[in-house]
Amino acid sequence: MTFITALKQRWTQANSLVCVGLDPEPAKFPARFNGDPDAVFNFCREIVDATAQYACAFKPQIAHFAALGAEDALQRLVAHIHAAHPGIPVILDSKRGDIGSTAQHYASEAFDRYGADAVTANPYLGRDSLQPFLDRADRGVVILCRTSNPGAGDLQDLVVADGRPLYQHVAEKVAREWNSHGNCALVVGATWPQQLREVRAIVGDVPFLVPGVGAQGGDVEAVVSNAKTADGTGLMVSSSRAILYASSADDFADAAARAARDLRDEINRHR
């Protein structure tokens, strides 16, 4: 099953557009994990198992694992998601993009080493830097378009030769030229509702990964009203900290489940 097919099935089966971000920070773990040599895996596994029924996808952030030397925990976590919750796609958030054989290795890292169903990718080195990802027709390539951070406009809003901002040029490149296998999605931040609407008009039904709700202040109603597709789907609304660290006590998994459920329900009210 391809990434896009799995995602569409999950939107329907779970009635959810929530993407649960997995950004482990041991300093925020409950005290019960103190002294646990496998705390990163064990914490994330419990979060996954508690929130799976409310998730359309999971999105582990590679830097949070790599900085801790926890790449093995990441591999085992992805394997656990596939085994325990089949059908829920995993997006490796690594924002890769490089030239030649390096890009080939990054694609192998995401899809072969970690077993991800999709990967986030940076388009600013051009198509050849993404081609090894695009060529994996069964996997997803989630391409940065208009990101949620405050400095996004420094480059992404620059007006290019056709008179449009760069992020719109990226959106059209993806939709018209790079998506020949139908395996592309776009990262468009929740903090820019007008840009969400503009990009949706350019790309049609291409899925969006939408970071920035919750801790970054994005408004759920604005996201859904500006970015949903005609059938009320088309979105992976990502939340990490608000779900992972909903409680620092022993009820952390139950609290995470409630936060994921509440976000799902809030999104659905506006669909």
Backbone region of residue 129 per phi and psi (left: phi > 0; alpha: psi in -120 to 50; beta: other values) = alpha
Which of 227, 229, 233 is CA-nearest to residue 210?
227
Q: How many residues does the chain have?
A: 271
Concerning whether 95 is annotated as a catalytic residue, the answer is yes
Provide the H-helix boundaries in the chain. Answer: 3-13, 39-51, 62-66, 71-84, 100-108, 127-134, 153-156, 166-173, 193-203, 220-227, 241-244, 252-269
Contact 132, 178 (CB under 8 A): no
Give the CA dihedral 243, 194, 156, 105, nearest 10 degrees: 40
The two three-digit tokens of residue 80, written as one number: 């656990």
Q: Point out the catalytic residue in the list 8, 95, 173, 228.
A: 95
Quote the CA–CA distance of 152 and 150 in Å, as a whole number: 6
At 268, the amino acid letter reads N
Catalytic (active-site) positions: 95
